[in-house]
Amino acid sequence: MKKNIGSFLLVILLIICSYFFLDKEIAVFVRKTLMAEARLDIFSANIPDLLFPIVCAITGIAWTAYFYFAHKGIIDTRLRFFQLVAFTVPFAFFLKSILKYVIGRINTRFWLLHPGFQDFHVFHGNKSYSGFPSGHMAVFTALIIALWRFYPRYRPAYAGFLSVLALALIVTDYHFLSDVIAGAYLGLIVHFCTLRGLSLMQNPKQGNMTL
């Protein structure tokens, strides 16, 4: 419990520090340097938001694989992995959608066009007010942490993927740094809470994380 509280307070501190001292400075730097030289704004603006269909595909594949192994009576790492992913990926997407609407933080590109605009529009989350937290980081962190737990052999690749994703979201001015931090932590929370819930369902007396 102390570790959980400590990590939560640390993440909150990082988000606050990023919001006040780093977010907008990084966004302006990216726009004036990287965007101007590599024309990343034009390239990234033409990329459709595929997060929802990706979540649907991952969830569908995970449930299909889970029921296949369960039907065959195969209870091993694969079964537990697909069961966890089938819950965590859509749950992370659902929670980020709620938080985006409730918090209503202005997104990076809209702020760059309207730097004097109010940062938060509580309960008015829409396309322009949907920056916090990053849904991509939340969903993919939930997925990658499951891979990290059950298939540890490729952990360097998992860490590299999340690092590249976080950097890409920032250097394309798709998200502020604090959005990315919050999204990653949301994915972690979803992973461990789901893991705990599934463990309690399987072993209600002890509640050990036996997955």
User: Per residue in 23-46, pLDDT tens?
Assistant: 999 999 988 887 655 555 555 555
Cβ burial 149-164 (10 Å sphere, 16+ → b, else e): bbeeeeeeebeeebee
Confidence label for 207 from pLDDT (cuts 50, 70 and 90): very low
End-to-end Cα distance, the chain: 20
**Percentage above 70 pLDDT, the chain:** 88
pLDDT one-digit tens code per residue, 84-100: 999 999 999 999 999 99
C-alpha 196/C-alpha 95 separation (Å) is 17
Structure tokens at 117: 């605009």
Count the residues in the chain: 211
State both tokens at 149: 């737990």
- Average pLDDT estimate for 182-210: 82
Task: Say which residues have a Cβ less than 8 Å from residue 117's Cβ, sequence separation at least 6.
Answer: 106, 110, 111
Per-residue pLDDT band at 113 (split at 50, 70, 90):
confident
List pLDDT tens digits, range 152-165: 999 999 999 999 99
- pLDDT for res 48: 63
Nearest to 62 by CA among 27, 96, 23, 88: 88
How confident is the prediction for the chain on average, in pLDDT?
A: 89
The residue extents of the domains of the chain are: 2-202
Over residues 118-177, the pLDDT tens digits come to 899 999 877 789 999 999 999 999 999 999 999 999 999 999 999 999 999 999 889 999
Look at residue 210 and tell me whether its pLDDT is greater than 50: no
Give the residue, 201 or 120, on which the prediction is more confident. 120
CATH topology of domain 2-202: Vanadium-containing Chloroperoxidase; domain 1 (1.20.144)
Alpha helices in 104-176 (DSSP H): 108-113, 135-150, 155-171
Q: Is this model's pTM higher than 0.75 or not?
A: yes
